[in-house]
Structures are given as structure tokens and as C-alpha cells.
Amino acid sequence: MNARTHKLICQAIVVLTPICFVLVISQHNEGRVTAQQTATQPKTAEQAFKNIKVIKSMPAGQLQNAMQFMGASLGVDCSYCHTPPAMEKDDKPAKETARRMLLMVNEINHNFGDKTVVTCATCHRGKPKPVDMPPLPSLSAPFAANSASVTEQPLPTVDEILDRYLKALGGMPAFEKLTTRVRTGSVDIAGVHGTFELYEGVPNKSLFIGSLPPPIGSVQQVFNGTNGWVRNQNGVFPMSGDGLAQTQRESAFFGDVKLKEQFKLMSVTGKERLDTRDFYVVQGTRPDNQVEKLYFDVATGLLARRYWETPTYFGVIPNANDYEDYRKVGSVRLPFLIRKARASRTFLQTISEYKLNVRIEDERFEKPAAQK
């Protein structure tokens, strides 16, 4: 795999679907690390990877998320510090700088009782070079008029927000008549344009077929309700761990409809304004204690965003699924634009067509055959 191919794959965190995004970089290395971690003592990053000089004691299974956190903090991809596919090489000055920065961060946090108070994101804020001077105040700040006090209306309850949302979608009885769903369209990832097909069946089966220009090529992701696999140019790989759990959640046929079933606790935390729109914010705690924030448009009642955070060795990575352009499909309304933010990467899915209640053979949701 040449450097250009590796960089494209690294940026494109394929799969291109609403199911989940599977990193198809270094599949063989990940499999090796997973196998090693089944031993009695999990491997450290130093034991599992080459040329680890600072984060030696980090569990090997956390290295990928930690690298994603660093990349998101600086707004860069892996090639900024590394020379793919030889990730262990030290031929880029940025890599040595990153090591010095990690030592500095460790020293600062040591002064706070070894709590994670400062991270790469504290100074970089999504840019390779941090800003070294305070910003000027807004031009409008000296002339801002005194705002009159406004009596806020009482917030609606969780049930009122969810009931309004379901009504805006067409009602739960209309959704319960659905057994399959097929969506096709295009996807844009880090400047790369491709197409996809997604086949879904109740209660949580899914088959994704995606295509990007060479050198990435075609990808398949299959989940049969219990097990999942990814097929790409390197072969067929079973899903496991957090990736499998995320796929299982996002394969739920009614995952964005039957919201209350997904959380053990839900509460309305307030009203927020984002990009000139007002949203009611509902916070939910899943059975695995992961917290999500659900943003419902005050004007339409529709779900516009699901937000959650992924913990890493260095800090948390923000994630979001955004839903726009709801249209009528049969007797229900569905989003035709889905934007997924993962760390500093955005995946835009533009759906051209939905087909509901079409026949999908059960065999399509089983392990894909290896490419010949």
C-alpha cells in the first residue's frame, strides 16, 4: 500500500453508511493486537507497536482512539506526523514535536494530581499551530443594546417532545408497518465522492455496499442481528468489541424512531440555539452508561442531532449524527441528508431514494464471501 492510498483510507474512515464507520487502515495489525489482548495480561502500546517512546504504558487497544484525538485536536490526519504505511518511522519533525508536547502535557497534569486537565485540544483548538494572543472583542460588543428580560415558557417534558417528534414523522403505527428499507445515494468524505446502497430489515439487520474511486474501491459491511463482518480490498474481517457494539446499536431498524427504548434515563436539560435555530435538548443515559444529547428543532419537532463523546487516553472525542431535509416517503417522513461528525472528519450522505417494504433475502445479511 503506497502513501497516497494509505492517506486516502485514513481520511475516509470507511464504511460510508448510517450503520457505523469502520477504520480499514491496518486491519492485520488490529487483528494481531486483539488476539494479543485475549491473553491474561493485556498488551501495552510499547509491547504491541514499534517505536513507542512516550505513551509506553497505554493499553494497546486504546492507541487508535488516542491518535484520532490528537489528529482532531490539531485538525490533521495521520500523515501529518507519520509516513504511511511505515508508521514507526521518525522521518518527520512533527512526530518528535508531538512527543515533546506529550511530555509537557503529562508534566502539567502531574501538577493537578495526574488528572486530565490539559490536553492537545486545550491550546490547538483544531489547528496545527495554536493561537498565541488573545482575540479582539467583537466590533458589535460596545454597541450592544441592553436586552429586555424575557419570561421563558416552561420547557416541555420528555414525553411531550418525543410524542411531537413521532407525530411529525407520521406516527408510530405507520412505522410499525415497515419491515424492510433500502436507501441509495452518494457520500462525500474528505473530498472523496462515492456512492452507497444500504439494505435494512427488522429488527436490526443491515447490509451496506459502498463504492469509492480507486485506490479505496468497494466496501461491504454486514450485520445479521448478532455478528458482523467487513469486506474490503484486504479481505473479510469479523467485527468485535466496541465496533461491533456500535454497529449493533446503529443497525436497529427503529433506532432513530423508538428513542425511549434506548435509554434507561431521559431528561430535558434546556433549550439551545445553534446556527440561528432553537432546539430542545434531551439527555439520555444508555444501559452501558454512555450519555447522549438529542436535539429537537423547536419549530418542527424533528430530531436534528444526536451527540455523544468517545473517551480516549488523552480526552474525549465529540461525535454527532445530524439529520436534515426530511421528506415524505409513503406514509412516513425520513431524512434525505445525514451528516456524521467523527473527531475532525465529516461524512456527508445524500440519499437519492428510499424503498420501503421490498423483499430482501435473509442470505444477504450473512457473512460475505471473500473477493476472488
The answer on 290 and 189 residing in a single domain is yes
Residue 45 predicted with pLDDT over 60: yes
The answer on 187 and 104 residing in a single domain is no
Which range in 61-65, 139-143, 221-225 is most confidently predicted, on average pLDDT?
A: 221-225
The answer to whether residue 30 sits within a structural domain is: no
- Sign, CA torsion 258/262/264/268: negative
- Contacts of residue 222, Cβ cutoff 8 Å, sequence gap at least 6: 206, 207, 208, 228, 229, 231, 364, 365, 366, 367, 368
The answer on 352 and 207 residing in a single domain is yes
Q: Residue 347 belongs to what domain range?
A: 158-365
Q: Which of 24-33, 149-158, 331-340 has the lowest mean pLDDT?
A: 24-33
Number of domains observed in the structure of the chain: 2
CA–CA distance, 44 with 63 (Å, rounded to integer): 9
The answer on 265 and 359 residing in a single domain is yes
Q: Return the CATH number at 357.
A: 2.50.20.10
Residue ending a domain, choose from 124, 145, 173? 124
The answer on 168 and 241 residing in a single domain is yes
Contact 31, 237 (CB under 8 A): yes
The answer to whether residue 28 sits within a structural domain is: no
The answer to whether residue 202 sits within a structural domain is: yes
The answer to whether residue 95 sits within a structural domain is: yes
Q: What pLDDT shows up at residue 181?
A: 98
Residue ending a domain, choose from 124, 142, 175? 124
C-alpha cell of 63? Answer: 492507541
Which residue reads 413521532 in cell numbers? 166
The answer to whether residue 192 sits within a structural domain is: yes
Any idea what the Cα angle at residue 66 is, between residues 70 and 47, rounded to 5°? 130
The answer on 258 and 168 residing in a single domain is yes
Mean pLDDT of 229-246: 90
- Strand boundaries in the chain, DSSP class E: 180-189, 192-201, 205-211, 218-223, 228-232, 235-238, 265-274, 277-285, 291-297, 303-311, 316-329, 332-342, 345-356
Percentage of residues in the chain having pLDDT higher than 90: 48
The answer to whether residue 142 sits within a structural domain is: no
Omega before 215 cis (within 30°)? yes
The answer on 185 and 92 residing in a single domain is no
pLDDT in tens, 98-135: 889 888 888 888 888 888 888 898 888 888 888 776 66
The answer on 323 and 179 residing in a single domain is yes
The answer on 299 and 171 residing in a single domain is yes
CA–CA distance, 315 with 135 (Å, rounded to integer): 25
Kindly indicate the confidence band of residue 27, based on its pLDDT and cuts at 50, 70 and 90.
very low
C-alpha cell of 209? Answer: 455496499
Q: What pLDDT shows up at residue 62?
A: 85
The answer to whether residue 143 sits within a structural domain is: no
pLDDT in tens, 186-200: 999 878 899 999 999
Q: Is 86 helix (H, G, I), strand (E, B) or coil?
A: strand
The answer to whether residue 351 sits within a structural domain is: yes
The answer on 119 and 242 residing in a single domain is no
pLDDT in tens, 307-339: 999 888 888 889 999 999 999 999 999 999 999
Alpha helices in the chain (DSSP H): 3-12, 27-37, 45-48, 63-74, 93-110, 120-124, 158-169, 172-175, 241-250
The answer on 177 and 321 residing in a single domain is yes
The answer on 242 and 105 residing in a single domain is no
Q: What pLDDT shows up at residue 206?
A: 97
Residue ending a domain, choose from 105, 124, 143? 124
Q: Return the CATH number at 102.
A: 1.10.468.10
Residue 160 predicted with pLDDT over 70: yes
CA–CA distance, 76 with 61 (Å, rounded to integer): 22
Amino acid at 77: D
Neighbours of 241 (CB within 10 A): 11
Of 173, 176, 194, 172, the C-alpha closest to 185 is 194
Contact 364, 93 (CB under 8 A): no
Of 187, 177, 143, 150, the C-alpha closest to 330 is 177
Mean pLDDT over each residue of the chain, to the nearest integer: 84
C-alpha cell of 255? Answer: 433506532
Contact 330, 180 (CB under 8 A): no
